[in-house]
Structure 1
Amino acid sequence: MSYTGPEFDPPQSHRPRSRRVLTVALAALVPGALLGWGVYAAVGGPGDGDGPDRAGGARPSPVPSSSRPAASADDAKTPTGASPSATAGKPSASPSTSAPAASGPLKGKVVVIDPGHNPGNFQHPSQINRRVNIGTNWKECDTTGTSTNAGWPEAKFTLDVAHRLRTLLERQGATVKLTQDGDRPYGPCVDERARIGNEARADAAVSIHADGSGAGNRGFHVILPGAVHAGAADTRAIVAPSADLGERIAGNFVRVTGSAPSNYIGGGTGLVTREDLGGLNLSTVPKVFIECGNMRDSKDAALLTSGAWRQKAAQGISEGIVSFLRG
């Protein structure tokens, strides 16, 4: 999958974190955030829909495009219990890594960006449906992700934002590694995505997604790892730094994009803690997921498919990472 670039604007057709109110985090981290949130509400904030909790509810079936099947739930969305099955082989591909920057405030820092899913996943159902061990249980290797009602896939959105984010972080001097760069036929599996960040000894890792909830469900949320200690999973050492990273990303995302926190999950904080995601459970470095918006809501989809807004999304995530790494 190639980088579509800023000019690509297609036509449009669970746990809440206990009492960490986003406004408090914003007051400490980004004083201008509440203003951005207020602007969002004034020009068309979250709808009145009181839809299901995407971290625990059923997902509506997306409308497929002519070139890909309907998308399914994924590791950053609906939790699933599973039993192990036989292990199949994985494609081999080296994650894309930028050259170390000569200078900048993040010189010497390593950031791993994990663009959720892969545009080719739907062509490899047996490989992405096989189960992998995420510590607490077994889960699908990966999924196809969701799409807009017009059929624009989440996997293209995530890779586009990842490229923009990489450019911004490299300008700050960081060494950036992507878990995939459209350079492999499918995947990687969720356990490999975590392993890439671990082996890179990343100072921060962020997995980029967009949600697939019901119409009327709007806004972003950042998923933080819960305290898990089971099997190969032990997140206890990364819970606190990951929470710090996630709060800083959420605050800057509001300020830069003007988007409000999710109106259907997270209790209005924009922060959700989960213990069922392999990409978090198996991480040994500070890591969060961000669901940048809901692709199945027409208003959110209009933002997600806008190149200008995706640049703002990347900027908000970048500024959150920079704030975290600089302390």
Structure 2
Amino acid sequence: MPYDDSPPPTRRARPLTVAAALAAVSLTAAGCGGGPQSDGAGGAPPRPGADTGSPTAPAGERPEPSKTASASDSAEPLPQGPLTGRTVVIDPGHNPRNRDHTREINEKVDIGTGRKECDTTGTSTDDGYPEARFTLDVSHRLRTLLEAEGARVRLTHDGERPFGPCIDERARIGNEAKADAVVSVHADGSAVGNRGFHVILPAEVKGGGADTSKIVRSSADLGARIAGHFVRTTGSQPSNYIGGKTGLDTRNDLGGLNLSTVPKVFVECGNMRDPKDAALLTSASWRQKAAQGMADGISSYLKG
């Protein structure tokens, strides 16, 4: 299918209860999908020959200029808005160059309850649109929307690094920023027919350097609000294969969640291996809706 790679818009300048957000998730509409088997790896490994990490953007893609990791905070004066004084960290899953650094990303790091690979390449659509490109595009769009409300936004990376960051560093960036919310953006690589987004929540984990006891409830609130707004804004259904059709899944094996000391969730926006979901994920207009749904959920959570 052709890629729709219109650029993100130029950067410029109603609270929900958890129950209400979950009720919104039950609405039916056309779906999208996914869930990682490692920290955002997507369900199935990339198919042979799939371009899962090419630093070259798909034809016609004109992304926002990258910022370096050290300067990935909001670089321009922010407008005053309802999120003024709040900090959000956006974690674009994977890195387009991970595939060129398999030795480095396979090195295991401590996730508190054990050890896990630094990072993964991510998945791709059948015709080679990489998850790592998708996550950067959606993250740029999400940053723009949140900054327009006055939030200070930081990305864990902007594709400028040779690989990673590793999952423990991704968690550390959010912790050190004392973020009010962290959202890790992903897409899944599951079987054809598996469709529908879901939000991954941290389980209560304590061991080694991991202790999520203080963020489980707040993360669940954040995740439920994002799920509620995501279904409304995108028209997509909750996953039909993960989370019991609630749009929510709780996991204890993701280092990015286990090591977080601030409210954090993963958003799996769709299944790149299902043709119907892939048609959504490769559409710039749908990616804008996905970013808007996440932004509305984050904003609802931060406003209380």
Q: Work out which of the residue numbers 155, 158, 174 in structure 2 matches 1:197.
A: 174
Deviations 1:62-116 (A, max 9, x none): 335575589xxxxxxxxxxxxxxxxxxxxx9426110452410000000000000
Deviations 1:18-52 (A, max 9, x none): xxxxxx97862488766xx4343xxxx589xxxx9
Identify if the C-alpha distance between structure 1 residues 211 and 65 changes in structure 2 by more than 3 Å, giving closer, same or farther: same
Q: Work out which of the residue numbers 63, 70, 74 in structure 2 matches 1:98.
A: 74
In structure 2, give the amino acid aligned to 1:28: A
Structure 1 residue runs of 5 or longer lacking an equivalent are 9-23, 71-91
**In 2, distance between residues paired with 1:61 and 1:112?**
27
Q: Work out which of the residue numbers 88, 103, 116 in structure 2 matches 1:111.
A: 88
Once the two structures are TM-superposed, the CA of residue 182 in structure 1 deviates from its matched residue by 1.2
In structure 2, give the amino acid aligned to 1:94: S
Aligned residue for 1:267? Answer: 244
Once the two structures are TM-superposed, the CA of residue 224 in structure 1 deviates from its matched residue by 0.2
**Counterparts of residues 1-327 of structure 1 (less than 5 Å):** 6=6, 28-29=20-21, 37-40=27-30, 45=31, 55=37, 59-65=43-49, 93-94=69-70, 96-99=72-75, 101-327=78-304
Is the CA contact (8 Å cut-off) linking 1:53 and 1:264 kept in structure 2? Answer: no
Identify if the C-alpha distance between structure 1 residues 69 and 107 changes in structure 2 by more than 3 Å, giving closer, same or farther: closer
Aligned residues: 277
- Among all aligned residue pairs of Structure 1 and Structure 2, give the percentage whose two residues are the same amino acid: 64
TM-score calculated relative to the size of structure 2: 0.84
Identify if the C-alpha distance between structure 1 residues 114 and 7 changes in structure 2 by more than 3 Å, giving closer, same or farther: closer
Identify if the C-alpha distance between structure 1 residues 122 and 27 changes in structure 2 by more than 3 Å, giving closer, same or farther: same
TM-score calculated relative to the size of structure 1: 0.78
Determine helix, strand or coil for the equivalent of 1:94. helix
Once the two structures are TM-superposed, the CA of residue 126 in structure 1 deviates from its matched residue by 1.1
**In 1, distance between residues paired with 2:79 and 2:36?**
43
**In 2, distance between residues paired with 1:171 and 1:197?**
21
Structure 2 residue runs of 5 or longer lacking an equivalent are 9-15, 55-67
Determine helix, strand or coil for the equivalent of 1:194. helix
In structure 2, give the amino acid aligned to 1:38: T
**In 2, distance between residues paired with 1:61 and 1:278?**
19
Backbone CA RMSD of aligned residues:
2.7
Identify if the C-alpha distance between structure 1 residues 168 and 30 changes in structure 2 by more than 3 Å, giving closer, same or farther: farther
**Which structure: larger Rg?**
1
Identify if the C-alpha distance between structure 1 residues 33 and 250 changes in structure 2 by more than 3 Å, giving closer, same or farther: closer
Is the CA contact (8 Å cut-off) linking 1:26 and 1:33 kept in structure 2? Answer: no
Once the two structures are TM-superposed, the CA of residue 244 in structure 1 deviates from its matched residue by 0.1
In structure 1, give the amino acid aligned to 2:6: P
